Amino acid sequence: MASDTAPVQHFIRQIVREDVESGRQPSVRTRFPPEPNGHLHIGHAKAICLDFGIAAEFDGRCNLRLDDTNPGKELPEYVQGIQDDVHWLGFEWAELRHASDYFEVFYRAAEKLIRDGKAYVDDLNADEVRAYRGTLTEPGKDSPFRGRSVEENLDLFQRMRAGEFADGAKTLRAKIDMASGNMNLRDPAIYRIRKQTHQNTGDAWPIYPMYDFAHCLSDALEGITHSFCTLEFEDHRPLYDWFVDHVDLAGHPELWQPLVEAGIPTAPSKPRQIEFARGNLTYTVMSKRKLTQLVTEGLVDGWDDPRMPTLSGARRRGFPAAAMRAFWERMGVSKQNSNIDFGVLEACVRDELDAHAPRRMAVLDPLKLVLTNLPEGHQETVEFPNHPKDESLGKRDLPFSREVWIEREDFAEVPPKGFKRLIPEGEVRLRGIGIIRCDEVVKNDAGEVTELRCTLDPETRPGGNATDRKVKGTIHWVSAMHAVAAEVRLYDRLFEVENPGDERDGKTLKDYLNPEAKRVVQGYIEPAAADAEPEAHWQFERTGYFVADRHDHRPQRPVFNRTVGLRDTWARKGR
């Protein structure tokens, strides 16, 4: 797809360009390989944009591959959610693959390593494996089962496959180097016994490959030319190369014959792995464990709660996909981990919505205002542009009547310094109507203001003789006779500190929650806003940017979520 902004030059783009121009890689193949054990978050969008964006830029292909090797934590809900999120971001994969598509190939590859004397079946339990592994400063010790013969290892591995042994009783390990300075090379596990139903293969397999083994071989099977990974996988790269080199898929087509028979396109090669820094944002957390905690403890209203940093939450909040793409493109790609201020993402959202969101009138904290010099039952229509900067969005007719709703904060009996809106005996311009004067303030028995009685200067109405008369303030309104009641959910940042993941001094996520992150109010909107389709974006004038909730909004029962305010109030508060 076309980029939303000019590409930012970074080291990965340069590496791929050099590979293409030199002929080293005449065609580019990438992949986005999430594990379907949770919902994707905003940080994943960086990888998605990089994987799909680089492929598109160089006329290549990008697969979506679900690395589903851990059946205990994987659900069809996550599989579908991942596909929905990638589509929402605006990308289409060349092929949808699953690591589980290759389970038979992985098993054959493991048998090859055993026959080559490069893998063995180990009886050590998890605690014993950790004890034998050594430390960063001390080498590990060989397992007492490391010297098993090829024949014995093949027999045991085949019996593992047949389901003969209990979970955890045995593992298949690569025979590399227990003294290696890279802990990943100290005879890592290749297969473990796990008698659990897999969401894609059912009960066909009682053993499952480890992620490191399956991931790199999946890349090789798919002919991936450039494998982009985050920095924590840099130390895994020697292990990936070891697996790819010693299995040697390209030299042993019999290993992937099952894929040929199944009609799954296969082009074995050795991918080039390139690591980059994660995308971290302030005022949020992106740990799957902590996101799960928020959901399971009821601190949010599910995975797509608009306060959540999940992509489904951002979508429901009203963050445009184009803004998300533009944000990660502007941030670029580097090798340096850093935290990006959440306000930068919000600024990208404002830029996108300011340019494309039509304007509508809405009053969220209503106060009745009566224009006493208009006749009872007066109503008319006033023409308003849908966007002040984009005439192509056209105009609409807005109903107006003798009684209107205004925002309560647009009136003050005792105005603070610099207040430019309505006060007793003061004047303001009623947006698109004319200048009004407040003549009377009506209160209830508790002393609360319930109604303002005002007069409209007819000479200041459009087409009148005094339309250029100046007043300091302009306020918006909706017709009380025609307005539609709406539920408006005012969302803000979920946490009130920059680093809510900091658990020092006994603090937890709960201690950092922002009590103002969600407020629900009953307001009034103009009829044209009520007719919005779910996920339609609007700017409610003078208030902020809002979206019709994708699940709950109905024209007869409107529900809007605040996406972001018109300005960054967090920066103003110095938080």
Following DSSP, what letter does each residue of 284-349 receive, concatenated? ----HHHHHHHHHTTSSSSTT-TTS-BHHHHHHHT--HHHHHHHHHHH---SS--EE-HHHHHHHH
Binding site residue list for ATP: 35-37, 41-47, 230, 286-288
Local structure of 126: helix, strand or coil: helix
Annotated binding site: 35-37, 41-47, 67, 211, 230, 286-288
Angle, CA of 149, 155 and 158, to the nearest 5°: 135
Paired tokens of 461? 């109405």
CB atoms under 10 Å from CB of 88, counted, come to 18
Please confirm, yes or no, whether 278 is among the known catalytic residues. yes
Return the exposure string of 263-293: e unless at least 16 CB atoms fall within 10 Å of the residue's CB, then b: ebebebbbbbbbbbbebbbbbbbbeeeebeb
Q: Give the integer Cα–Cα distance in Å for 376 and 558.
A: 29
Active-site annotation holder among 288, 368, 396, 437: 288
The Cα–Cα gap between 28 and 20 comes to 8
Given a contact cutoff of 8 angstroms between Cβ atoms, the answer to whether 520 and 490 are in contact is yes
Collect all residues with Cβ–Cβ distance below 8 Å to 314 and sequence separation of at least 6: 42, 306, 324
H/E element, 137: none
Provide the 8-state DSSP code for 261. Answer: H
Is there a catalytic annotation at residue 317?
no
Residue 259 dihedral angles phi and psi, to the nearest 5°? -70, -40
Asked whether 282 and 498 are in contact (CB, 8 A), the reply is: yes
What are the binding residues for L-glutamine? 67, 211
Other CB atoms closer than 10 Å to residue 175's CB: what's the count? 19
DSSP string, 518-545: EEEEEEEE-HHHHTPPTT-EEEETTTEE
Q: Which two tokens stand for residue 133?
A: 């592994």
Cα–Cα dist 441/461, whole Å:
24
β-bridge pairing 518-525 and 366-371: unpaired
Tokens of 501: 């993941």
The single residue listed with the structure tokens 């290749």 is 190
Helices 211-221 and 103-115 pack at an angle, to 10 degrees, of: 110
391 is catalytic: no
Q: Which of 31, 35, 325, 427 is catalytic?
A: 35
CA geometry: angle 17, 54, 106, nearest 5 deg: 105
The CA distance from 102 to 201, in Å, is 11
The DSSP element (H or E) to which 188 belongs, if any, is: none
Q: Which residues contact 238 (CB under 8 A, 6 or more apart)?
A: 182, 184, 185
Which candidate in 118, 194, 195, 278 is catalytic?
A: 278
Print burial letters for 313-331: b (CB count within 10 Å at least 16), e (below 16): bbbbbbbbbbbbbbbbbbb
Active site residues: 35, 278, 288
